[in-house]
Amino acid sequence: MKTRKFFMPVAGAVLLALGGFQLRAIPTAVAATVARGSYTSAPTIASQPVSQSVSAGASVSFSVTAYGAATLNFQWRKDGADISGANASTFNIASVAAGNAGSYDVVVTNSKGSATSSAATLSVAQTSTGTMTADVVAAAQTFYNGLSSSQQATVQKTWSLDTARTWSNLPAALVARNGIAWSTLSTAQKTAAHALITAALGSKGDTLFTGMQMADNYLNSIGGGSSYGEGQYYITFLGAPSTSAFWMLQVTGHHLTYNLAFNGSHKSATPMFLGVEPKASFTYGGSTYDPMAAQRVAMANLGTVLTGYSTAKLSGTYSDLVFGANGAGNIDGTCPRAYSSKSGQGIPYANLSSTHQALVQELIKAYVNTQAADMASDLLSAYLSDTALASTYVAYAGSGTVTTKGDYFRIDGPRLWIEFSVQSGVIVKNDIHYHTVWRDKVAEYGGLCGQS
């Protein structure tokens, strides 16, 4: 009798028969693979990983179904960076933290080729950021209750992405801001505003805010005119302050914008624009200020060693920095942003010496530590993880100093984006000043970038 091989589908399995005798049952997924003749093909993905939104502490699982020539190999990635040890068709996270939020995909390879799945987004719902959120909401309500009815109508706006993006590095006299002007607040209201900023940003954040106001007062005092001064800083609530519903606190003015999102899909402190003129220490009202000392010194230290790496230098020149990546104009540019054309330039972090890697980390901390402790801790755990740093690049253009017009630096990670640009002085003639930006490719505006 002639032996024949055939497949017959049954519920949940396929029977393999030989000469009329049943030999074994194989799962339908495998049967489909065999039936398609896929043992000789490059990988094909039959089912894609699915986006999910979970609360912090919950478990989550991403999976993919693929077929192709044996043996299939799997490499899961987060935000484009390989996840160490994630080499099965399923990737599990037992207890999700805020830092796990991001974009996940998997590359499937075999001897015939490779296939990359579509990206699945993991959103981590933060119904509360703990004591910080409660403290900020309480301080916001105290500030709000101390305003007149007309001031209340000015300080609180309905959240929309377009409204949130209405900030600029230019003086507020040139580009309008959201919210209530510092110049319209009474002494008691300013005290409540400082308490709010301290609750949201910690003492370092409030000190930076005050230093930036004093820098503008200094520019006014040396002939800058009415476009400059502490009165042209603004505070607004985008949405009603809440311990559970999404809202944003925006503090903005010339050379400084804080965008703090609460209860979004991510903890978020970005976009943050930070610049200063004059470039270093100055005296105003009998006190001496140097608001960007931490960032300037950290960047100068890093720049000194980057010049020793030929691959760290970018081609071309960088004359200004407005909003970073692809932003231009009088408000924040396209959202979500397109980093791909500029990402991956410069030298990989991994190619720096351990001593020089430490300088990169110090610069990142100089920006992130402008935030309250629990916000900074979460973000640093994401930016400085081994996985993130393995896909981080460092670059510069110009002389590698922070003293020459046109000098430029960039740190580019899976989430992190920091740019630092040296500009000509505007009011302080024959000198330079700084424009810098810190952005997060995943968590901008609470992770709601691209949503109305």
Per-residue pLDDT, 332? 87
Rounded (5°) CA angle 94-99-122? 70
Point out the domain boundary residue: 125, 153, 176. Answer: 125
The DSSP secondary-structure symbol of 177 reads: -
For residue 8, pLDDT over 50 is answered with no
For residue 61, pLDDT over 50 is answered with yes
Q: What average pLDDT does the structure give for the chain?
A: 86
Domain co-membership, 231 together with 312: yes
Q: Beta strand 52-55 with 120-125: parallel, antiparallel or unpaired?
A: parallel
pTM: predicted TM-score of the whole model, two decimal places: 0.73
Instruction: Report the DSSP beta bridge partners of residue 437.
Output: 273, 419
Q: Is residue 412 part of a domain?
A: yes
For residue 26, pLDDT over 80 is answered with no
Assign 431 a pLDDT band (cuts: 50, 70, 90): very high
Q: Is residue 158 part of a domain?
A: yes
Domain co-membership, 169 together with 46: no
Percent of the chain with pLDDT over 70: 87
Q: Judge if the upstream peptide bond of residue 71 is cis by omega within 30 degrees of 0.
A: yes
Domain co-membership, 28 together with 48: no
Please tell me the distance from the alpha carbon of residue 74 to that of residue 94, in angstroms, as a whole number: 19
For residue 436, pLDDT over 80 is answered with yes
Q: Is residue 452 part of a domain?
A: no
148-166 exposure pattern, b = at least 16 Cβ within 10 A, e = fewer: eeebeebbbbebebebbbb
For residue 98, pLDDT over 80 is answered with no
Per-residue pLDDT, 415? 93
Please tell me the distance from the alpha carbon of residue 14 to that of residue 135, in angstroms, as a whole number: 61
Domain co-membership, 255 together with 284: yes
Q: Is residue 251 part of a domain?
A: yes
Domain co-membership, 286 together with 415: yes
Q: Is residue 73 part of a domain?
A: yes
Say which range, 35-44, 74-83, 85-94, 376-385, has the weakest mean pLDDT.
35-44
For the chain, the domain total comes to 3
- Average pLDDT of span 103-111: 94
Integer angstrom CA distances of residue 241 from 159, 201, 360, 450: 11, 15, 35, 22
Domain co-membership, 79 together with 155: no
Please tell me the distance from the alpha carbon of residue 227 to that of residue 427, in angstroms, as a whole number: 11
Query: Which comes out higher in pLDDT, residue 93 or 148?
Result: 148
Contact 257, 248 (CB under 8 A): no
Residue found under tokens 């912090």: 56
Per-residue pLDDT, 449? 81
Backbone torsions φ then ψ of 248, nearest 5 degrees: -130, 145
Contact 14, 8 (CB under 8 A): yes
Percent of the chain with pLDDT over 90: 65
Q: What are 303-351's pLDDT values in tens digits?
A: 999 999 999 999 988 878 777 666 666 788 888 788 877 888 999 999 9
Per-residue pLDDT, 21? 36
Domain co-membership, 235 together with 350: yes
Backbone torsions φ then ψ of 84, nearest 5 degrees: -60, 130
Please tell me the distance from the alpha carbon of residue 57 to that of residue 55, in angstroms, as a whole number: 6
Tokens of 132: 């910080």
Domain co-membership, 221 together with 332: yes
Report the SS3 class of residue 46.
strand
Q: Beta strand 234-238 with 180-181: parallel, antiparallel or unpaired?
A: antiparallel
Contact 241, 140 (CB under 8 A): yes
- Looking from the CA of 299 toward its CB, the CA atoms found within 13 Å total 28
Point out the domain boundary residue: 76, 103, 125. Answer: 125
Domain co-membership, 298 together with 422: yes
Please tell me the distance from the alpha carbon of residue 407 to that of residue 429, in angstroms, as a whole number: 18
Q: What are 269-290's pLDDT values in tens digits?
A: 999 999 999 999 999 999 999 9
Domain co-membership, 255 together with 228: yes
Domain co-membership, 199 together with 342: yes
For residue 410, pLDDT over 90 is answered with yes
Point out the domain boundary residue: 94, 125, 156. Answer: 125
Give the domain range for residue 176: 131-447
Please tell me the distance from the alpha carbon of residue 411 to that of residue 343, in angstroms, as a whole number: 9
**Any idea what the CATH number is for the domain that residue 119 is in?**
2.60.40.10
Domain co-membership, 46 together with 10: no
Tokens of 419: 């740019």
Q: What are 189-227's pLDDT values in tens digits?
A: 999 999 999 999 999 999 999 999 999 999 999 999 999
Say which range, 63-72, 331-340, 405-414, has the weakest mean pLDDT.
331-340
Q: Is residue 371 part of a domain?
A: yes
